[in-house]
């Protein structure tokens, strides 16, 4: 009887509750990230948005803000340096993204062939990506140096006059783009190489049986299969290229003249040299909006085609 | 570090040396007296601090300081000495130039009390002193019996901002822009030392024509956008008899005939520099001179002179002389300052100890050490005239003469923005993106718009 009673009591009782941390495990796991996001991204973003509509001054009483509606934005649209910076940034993004993705793809295709010392080449190709951008910029600055740089030395050896790599408005931006391409191409190469290795072999075998040429195989098999990875790599490079700052700042500080003034340089100068936090925030806000719009449209219009369920 | 923390006490048992106490004493000495002649006596006295105040100090605690990264390594031996002699721990927070300015602005405007001693470039004084971010030192200096007579008057005056309101900073780096020239080259070509900008231009042309084949160019200047291009252009502008702003208002003067002539001269000079002037920075301008690539430069600073006169580094030792900046006939020659000053932020809880450190650090003994051991130019006359120093550094009399002609950049808290505007357009003109007239017109318009926007000028 006693045993039955105990059994009855046991079945009548509600099941024992899991401890609070187990019940809220999902929240606990994401909490550090959420807290960090709120503290270091969300709150500063709100502050920046508020600043963008204000004239911000640093006074003895602390940071003072005077609400000026859209004045900072109107100033941005009227500012010739901003218009120039937008054009330079677009040119930078277009050229370096195209070069980095194109070269990365070429290298990845090359490495999938049976070439000698493939492992060695792959290791060597990774070196630029692990170097700090600041060190890279300083090293290239000296290589481009007009009097003592290695490039002009080599040109001199074959009888070519020294080139003003970083001080001629016609060359400087492209010379700095070359540095970015040198450093970022290994990134695109790695992702595309991994993508190529993961492609199914069947379509290649079928194409070979059908007698397709290497170009036909690349165009009709490799490229379509690799397209999703190619598009992701392109998006990542576009976003990263648009944020270029370190290399240009170190090599020419946006020069010669203002021929390499990108948006990020302009935002930095307004914010941290001129202490014009309101205007700098407005420029930053506009820049973020443009990047978000580009990324969203790209993801929705281009990448969505590859996200659809397959038959 | 508060007095309570470090147990600093006066000579009378139980009497603590507090800021309030010091202020009371200063009132007795004479409230409101300017500090124009006080720092020397205290400065000449040896460490430790107690001997200068005439009170025993027990030390202890921590002084938090802000210096540029470049300076920190150079001053470390002195910091160690002070720390040991006074039983004070010194914590230096170092940053490069731009981040230091931002960091100080944010901390000082917030009154965080994070720093006890800060090192400031003199163009920052309108922001920090004008905004009352840093303490007025007059009364504390009076209480300490400090005198300023030994400082180059034009340099100590940089700490008095707004002018006549009292010292808020004491100069420790005597940076003054000078005109430097190669005596051997001028002599070889039969040229006198140029006095006017017209002569500088004609000499630069003659030198470049004669020596370009040997890799020597007439002049060196900086063409990087912003501070660099602005700092090379300002002496040319002033040497033509006009400044960025009118003498009695914040009305920009860059479309005046004198300014147009100045930019024409400057752009002509830029064509007589070694190739790549568009990317020449402060350091490269110095390198070009000590490597023997340039025969003249109006944008040489003491740190570069120390390299130019360094036998281990320079190819032109004994061939360079320095002096005042050129000026057109009838225009008063001026040398631009770029001094660094020490100040005490409002909110510091260790003001007495901070002042004690500043007095010790800017004393002649320490200034001489910094000059001879660390290549930091002095701000005291006695050090610049010191026979031992002059024997080692032959340019010191020229530097002192330049210091006596010293004139700061326009003293507005908006100067960083002003400099960015005209430095940007001058750099564009040097790079050939726009012409000189457009550079001056655009600079004038934008600087004017800035001054109007900030309420310093009516539309």
Residue with tokens 């008899």: B241
The model's pTM = 0.84
**pLDDT band at residue B337, thresholds of 50, 70 and 90?**
very high
Comparing CB atoms, the residue among B102, B109, B224 nearest residue A59 is: B109
Q: Is the pLDDT higher at A214 or at A307?
A: A214
| Contact residues on chain B for A80, CB-CB shorter than 8 A | 442
Average pLDDT over residues A61-86: 93
Q: Average model confidence (pLDDT) for chain B?
A: 87
| Contact residues on chain B for A272, CB-CB shorter than 8 A | 98-99, 101-102
Average pLDDT over residues A179-194: 96
What's CA B431's distance to the chain center, in Å? Answer: 28
Chain A interface with B: residues with Cβ < 8 Å? 55, 58-63, 80-81, 145-147, 162, 164, 166-169, 172, 251-259, 261, 269, 272-276
* Of the listed ranges A176-180, A306-310, B346-350, B374-378, the one predicted with least confidence: A306-310
Comparing CB atoms, the residue among A62, A259, A274 nearest residue B416 is: A274
Task: Give the integer Cα–Cα distance in Å for B317 and B290.
Answer: 8
**Given a cut of 80, is residue A189 above it in pLDDT?**
yes
Cis peptide before A256 (omega within 30 of 0): yes
CA distances B400 to B14, B194, B396, Å, are 46, 20, 6
Cis peptide before B149 (omega within 30 of 0): no
CA distances A287 to A40, A86, A239, A294, Å, are 19, 9, 11, 11
Alpha-helix runs per DSSP H in B274-316? 282-290, 302-308
**pLDDT band at residue B431, thresholds of 50, 70 and 90?**
very high
Mutation to test the A interface, candidates B285, B288, B431, most A Cβ within 10 Å = B431
**Given a cut of 90, is residue B292 above it in pLDDT?**
yes
| Contact residues on chain A for B428, CB-CB shorter than 8 A | 257-258
Task: Give the integer Cα–Cα distance in Å for B107 and B176.
Answer: 28
Task: Give the integer Cα–Cα distance in Å for B129 and B150.
Answer: 23
Question: Token pair of A92, please?
Answer: 């930078």
| Contact residues on chain A for B427, CB-CB shorter than 8 A | 255-258
Comparing CB atoms, the residue among A146, A258, A275 nearest residue B105 is: A275
> What pLDDT shows up at residue A3?
58
Residue with tokens 């009097």: A147
Question: Token pair of B368, please?
Answer: 């001489």
Task: Give the integer Cα–Cα distance in Å for B22 and B223.
Answer: 49
**pLDDT band at residue B160, thresholds of 50, 70 and 90?**
very high
CA distances A301 to A145, A229, A241, A258, Å, are 44, 15, 21, 35
- Answer yes or no: do B224 and A253 touch at CB < 8 A: yes
Task: Give A92-109 pLDDT, tens digit per residue.
Answer: 999 999 999 999 999 999
**pLDDT band at residue B25, thresholds of 50, 70 and 90?**
very low
- For chains A and B, CB pairs below 8 A equal 109
Interface membership of B212 toward A (CB under 8 Å):
no
* Contact present, B436 and B429 (Cβ < 8 Å): yes
- ipTM for the complex shown: 0.83
Mutation to test the A interface, candidates B428, B430, B434, most A Cβ within 10 Å = B428
Percent composition of chain A: helix, strand, coil (DSSP 3-state, to 5): 75, 5, 25
Q: Is the pLDDT higher at A121 or at B252?
A: B252
Question: Token pair of B115, please?
Answer: 């720093």
Task: Give B162-173 pLDDT, tens digit per residue.
Answer: 999 999 999 999
Q: Chain A residue with minimal CA distance to B288?
A: A147
Q: Which residues contact B55 (CB under 8 A, 6 or more apart)?
A: B9, B10, B11, B17
Q: Which residues pair with B176 in a beta bridge?
A: B337
Question: Token pair of B318, please?
Answer: 């004994």
B121 three-state secondary structure: strand
> What pLDDT shows up at residue B303?
86
Question: Token pair of B338, please?
Answer: 């770029």
| Contact residues on chain A for B433, CB-CB shorter than 8 A | 169, 257-259
């Amino acid at each position: 009887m006693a045993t039955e009673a105990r059994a009855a009591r046991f079945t009548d009782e509600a099941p024992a509750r899991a401890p609070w941390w187990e019940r809220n495990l999902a929240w606990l796991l994401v909490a550090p990230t959420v807290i960090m996001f709120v503290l270091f991204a969300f709150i500063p973003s709100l502050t920046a948005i508020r600043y963008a509509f204000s004239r911000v001054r640093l006074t003895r009483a602390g940071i003072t803000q005077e609400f000026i509606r859209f004045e900072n934005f109107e100033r941005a649209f009227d500012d010739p340096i901003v218009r120039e910076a937008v054009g330079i940034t677009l040119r930078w993004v277009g050229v370096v993204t195209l070069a980095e993705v194109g070269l990365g793809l070429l290298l990845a295709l090359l490495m999938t062939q049976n070439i000698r010392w493939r492992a060695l080449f792959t290791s060597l190709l990774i070196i630029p990506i692990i170097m700090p951008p600041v060190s890279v910029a300083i090293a290239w600055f000296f290589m481009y140096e007009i009097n003592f740089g290695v490039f002009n030395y080599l040109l001199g050896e074959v009888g070519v006059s020294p080139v003003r790599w970083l001080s001629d408005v016609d060359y400087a931006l492209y010379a700095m783009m070359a540095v970015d391409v040198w450093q970022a191409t290994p990134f695109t190469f790695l992702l595309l190489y991994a993508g190529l290795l993961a492609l199914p072999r069947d379509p290649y075998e079928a194409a070979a049986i059908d007698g397709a040429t290497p170009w036909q195989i690349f165009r009709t098999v490799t490229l379509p299969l690799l397209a999703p990875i190619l598009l992701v790599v392109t998006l990542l490079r576009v976003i990263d290229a648009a944020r270029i700052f370190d290399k240009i700042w170190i090599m020419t500080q946006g020069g010669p003249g203002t021929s390499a003034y990108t948006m990020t340089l302009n935002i930095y100068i307004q914010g941290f040299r001129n202490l014009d936090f309101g205007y700098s925030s407005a420029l930053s806000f506009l820049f973020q909006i443009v990047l978000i719009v580009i990324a969203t449209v790209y993801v929705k219009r281009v990448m969505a085609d590859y996200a659809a369920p397959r038959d | 570090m508060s007095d309570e923390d470090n147990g600093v006490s006066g000579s009378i048992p139980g009497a603590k040396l507090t800021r309030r106490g010091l202020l009371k004493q200063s009132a007795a000495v004479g409230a409101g007296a300017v500090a124009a002649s006080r720092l020397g006596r205290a400065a000449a006295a040896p460490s430790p601090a107690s001997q200068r105040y005439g009170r025993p100090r027990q030390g202890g605690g921590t002084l938090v300081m802000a210096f540029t990264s470049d300076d920190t390594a150079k001053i470390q031996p002195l910091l160690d000495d002070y720390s040991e002699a006074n039983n004070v721990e010194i914590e230096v927070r170092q940053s490069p130039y731009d981040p230091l300015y931002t960091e100080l602005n944010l901390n000082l405007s917030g009154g965080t009390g994070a720093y006890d001693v800060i090192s400031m470039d003199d163009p920052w004084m309108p922001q920090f002193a004008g905004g009352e971010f840093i303490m007025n030192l007059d009364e504390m200096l009076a209480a300490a019996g400090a005198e300023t007579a030994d400082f180059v008057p034009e340099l100590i005056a940089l700490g008095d901002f707004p002018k006549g309101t009292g010292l808020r900073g004491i100069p420790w780096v005597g940076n003054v822009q000078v005109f430097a020239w190669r005596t051997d080259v001028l002599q070889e070509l039969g040229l006198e030392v140029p006095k006017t900008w017209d002569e500088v231009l004609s000499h630069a042309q003659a030198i470049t024509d004669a020596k370009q084949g040997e890799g020597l160019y007439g002049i060196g200047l900086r063409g990087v956008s912003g501070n660099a291009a602005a700092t090379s252009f300002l002496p040319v502008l002033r040497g033509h008899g006009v400044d960025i702003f009118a003498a009695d208002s914040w009305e920009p003067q860059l479309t005046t005939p004198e300014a147009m002539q100045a930019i024409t001269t400057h752009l002509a000079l830029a064509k007589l520099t070694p190739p790549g002037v568009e990317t020449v920075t402060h350091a490269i301008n110095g390198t070009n001179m000590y490597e023997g690539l340039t025969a003249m430069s109006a944008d040489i600073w003491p740190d570069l002179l120390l390299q130019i006169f360094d036998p281990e580094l320079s190819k032109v030792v004994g061939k360079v002389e320095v002096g005042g900046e050129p000026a057109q006939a009838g225009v008063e020659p001026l040398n631009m300052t770029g001094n660094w000053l020490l100040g005490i932020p409002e909110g510091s809880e260790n003001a007495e100890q901070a002042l004690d450190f500043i007095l010790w650090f800017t004393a002649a003994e320490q200034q001489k050490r910094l000059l001879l051991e660390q290549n930091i130019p002095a701000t005291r006359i006695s050090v610049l005239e010191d026979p031992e120093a002059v024997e080692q550094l032959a340019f010191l009399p020229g530097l002192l003469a330049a210091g006596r002609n010293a004139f700061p950049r326009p003293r507005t808290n908006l100067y960083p923005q002003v400099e960015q505007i005209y430095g940007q357009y001058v750099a564009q003109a040097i790079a050939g993106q726009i012409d000189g007239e457009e550079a001056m017109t655009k600079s004038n318009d934008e600087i004017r718009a800035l001054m109007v926007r900030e309420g310093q000028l009516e539309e």
